[in-house]
Amino acid sequence: MSNVLLTSDSRDMHEKVLAASDGACIALGIGSELPTEPAELVARSGQQTLPDVVILDATVDPEGALGLASRFDQELPGTGVVLIGDPHALAIPALRVGVRDVLPPSTDAAELRSTLHRVHAAVQLRRMSAGAAASPFGAPVHVPARVITVLSPKGGAGKTTLASNLAVGLAQAAPGSTVLVDLDVQFGDIATALGIEPEFTLEDVVHGAALRDPIALKTHLTLHESGLALVCAPENPVAADSVTPEQVSALLMMLASQFRYVVVDTAAGLDPRTLAALDRTTDPVLITTFDVTGARGLRKEVDTLRELGMLNSARHVVLNFADPKGGLTVSDVEATIRTRVDATLPISRAVTTSLNTGIPLLLQRPKDPVAKQVRQLIAHFQQQLTQALS
Ligand SMILES: Nc1ncnc2c1ncn2[C@@H]1O[C@H](COP(=O)(O)OP(=O)(O)OP(=O)(O)O)[C@@H](O)[C@H]1O
Ligand SMILES: [Mg+2]
């Protein structure tokens, strides 16, 4: 059965939809205000996955419901929208904004059930039609995805900080365009950094049908309020070892067919899963601490990647914890690593606060100097995608 999200203040409607969906329905009372953005509505539902069908009660605020339906059509076309309201008045405007059906408030559970079946089938077709205009998350399937993998030779260099903020920024600009994968399988903390409790983790994703079936994949993703989809690290560090490099490779390939941006956070060093990810990566981002040991570690990593032929021209080098009084310059580091440095991130207390509160820096302190640097990187990746399309 499809999973349904209903917005209505009518208790009667709640009961009918609950019966029609065999209980697979989350009902939200809306009061006088309907959110204007799909991501906000989904966040309010408290669900970690996108609904198959959204039923909007348009009896109180038809304009607001049509506006929200239109946003679903543009941003989350893998979700079908049904309106409750006057079919005579709403049919034409609803058609224009991609609504699947308009039902009167008097509709019964049996009619609702057959509508849900029909809409679910239509949505599945739309999601699965080969080369169709849209994927479950709104990214055109034919767009060559950017797979951005953040790695560092040593722990604590800022990988999770950078990966999570890059992903949130990309998702904010185009909700539904970006997925973030926590490949730090043993001690990954993306979920903590973004203040979420995932229902499913990487372990569930690679061991189920999700590697073959985009619909199964969708149901195993976690949704952040920014519009970012997530594959979080497993809860149990021991079980995490069952995730193989081959599965990582298959997962990234699948995600790259569904999203415009796939951002990957990794464990320190070059473990086999990170190497598998690099094999599927278009944009490696190497981050290290701005000090002598950080630079030496980075040089070894850069040399290894070069030998393996995994360091392409799209690579980025980021120095973190930059301290003007540290006695080291960017040119010193460039001489050591024998390649260009692309960005330096200053030390900022706001980064730690953001991690401790589970609110990404880009949302909590958008003007922070670290956030500004991250936004420059985001602009670069957006440009790469645009160029690839032209
Ligand atoms: N520019 C910065 N200024 C201040 N604190 C920072 C900065 N970058 C990262 N931190 C802090 O340093 C710590 C390590 O950062 P982070 O978790 O992003 O690194 P990591 O490379 O993912 O670590 P690990 O290898 O353990 O996964 C965190 O407490 C984070 O808040
Ligand atoms: Mg980390």
| pLDDT per residue as tens digits for the range 249-293 | 999 999 998 888 999 999 999 999 999 999 999 999 999 999 999
- pLDDT in the model for residue 190: 97
User: What is the pTM for the complete model shown?
Assistant: 0.69
Taking Cα atoms as reference points, which of 94, 97, 77 lies closest to residue 86? Answer: 94
pLDDT tens for the chain, 390 residues: list them: 568 999 999 999 999 999 999 888 888 887 768 888 888 888 888 776 788 899 999 999 999 999 999 998 888 888 899 999 998 899 888 888 888 889 999 999 999 998 998 888 777 666 654 333 344 444 444 457 899 999 999 999 999 999 999 999 999 888 778 999 999 999 999 999 999 999 999 999 999 888 888 878 888 899 898 889 999 999 888 878 889 999 999 999 999 988 889 999 999 999 999 999 999 999 999 999 999 999 999 999 999 988 888 887 788 999 999 988 888 999 999 999 988 999 999 999 999 999 999 999 999 999 999 999 999 999 999 887 776 655
Pocket test for ligand 1, best of 150, 321, 344, 351 (most atoms within 8 A of CB): 351
DSSP 149-201: EEE-SSTTSSHHHHHHHHHHHHHHHSTTSEEEEE--TTT--HHHHTT---SSB
290 lines ligand 1 (CB under 6 A): no
Shortest-distance ligand to the CA of residue 154: 1
Q: Which amino acid is at 207?
A: H
- pLDDT in the model for residue 6: 94
Which numbered atom of ligand 1 lies nearest the CA of 187?
27
User: Cα of 315 to ligand 1 centre, how many Å?
Assistant: 21
User: Cα of 362 to ligand 1 centre, how many Å?
Assistant: 15
Enumerate residues with CB within 5 Å of ligand 2 (an ion).
159-160
Residue pair 317/157 in contact by the 8 Å Cβ criterion = no
